[in-house]
Structure 1
């Protein structure tokens, strides 16, 4: 089964949730990826960047589900936490490389094969997307279907 993942920036949860049925492409700048667990990745990335445990982040409801009309059976929109957004915004290339390596190692420990170059490409793309919005009041969201 193939999964389409689109990370995008939107001004608020309501605007992000409004695209759950159609995806963000026609409304917001987005980056498209595929075939990984986006919700798990958001948690793992934040854990690696901040040092919080995976379990603590899940208990804190990270990432926040903004829209899930199919209750897990269709497209969903998730909101990345402010801590993850801030970490991606200030991360330099070396930090992104470090986080990519740790994430790939964690995926490998769970039996999933993930290329370090692709992991770095994803995280660098997200960092670039966040840096491009600058001080605009927008946040990072993830749409997947």
Structure 2
């Protein structure tokens, strides 16, 4: 059984945490959400040309904003650096990292780069929208 990850934007931690039970689809202002079966750490490292360890070492990376003892879902915040790196990524940059990303452990070493590139473009749109609205990006995860 895997984890479902849905990336979304919200004005603040309290509003983002409010979706923990039903997911971002229950959050009326959120029109833009990207569902994925992967986490963003490796993507953040590739976008910023850092090691995974360095990219995810900051305390703001995937900071839990919901109760840690919730039954089967939780929400984490993503740092502004992730949003900015994704929002600022050109198509060329996304295309250059999708190959290595598709071979990462997150995809068991073999995902279709073309499909991932489409997903990355959706994520980029979400990041740009969040930044334009002055919102933060979050990830809702559920078992």
Common fold, TM-score beyond 0.5? yes
Residue in 2 that maps onto 1:120: 117
Q: What is the DSSP-based 3-state SS (H/G/I as helix, E as strand, rest coil) of the residue aligned with 1:124?
A: helix
In the superposition, relative to structure 1, how do residues 74 and 94 fare at CA in structure 2: closer, same or farther (>3 Å)? same
Q: What is the DSSP-based 3-state SS (H/G/I as helix, E as strand, rest coil) of the residue aligned with 2:65?
A: strand
Q: What is the DSSP-based 3-state SS (H/G/I as helix, E as strand, rest coil) of the residue aligned with 1:87?
A: helix
Runs of 4+ displaced beyond 6 Å: none
Matched pairs, number? 139
For residues 102-141 of structure 1, what are the structure 2 equivalents within 5 Å?
Answer: 102-107=100-105, 111-133=108-130, 135-141=132-138
Question: Are 2:32 and 1:33 equivalent residues in the alignment?
Answer: no
CA contact 1:63–1:78 (8 Å) conserved in 2: yes
How much has 1:10 moved relative to structure 2? 0.2
How much has 1:118 moved relative to structure 2? 2.2
Q: What is the DSSP-based 3-state SS (H/G/I as helix, E as strand, rest coil) of the residue aligned with 2:133?
A: coil
Residue in 2 that maps onto 1:63: 62
After alignment, is 97-106 or 82-91 more displaced?
Answer: 97-106
- TM-score scaled by length of structure 2: 0.82
How much has 1:68 moved relative to structure 2? 4.5
In the superposition, relative to structure 1, how do residues 82 and 75 fare at CA in structure 2: closer, same or farther (>3 Å)? same
After alignment, is 127-136 or 98-107 more displaced?
Answer: 127-136
CA distance in 2, matches of 1:107, 1:55: 14
C-alpha root-mean-square deviation of aligned residues, in Å?
Answer: 2.2
Residue in 2 that maps onto 1:15: 15
Residue in 1 that maps onto 2:140: 143
CA distance in 2, matches of 1:56, 1:68: 26
Q: What is the DSSP-based 3-state SS (H/G/I as helix, E as strand, rest coil) of the residue aligned with 1:67?
A: coil
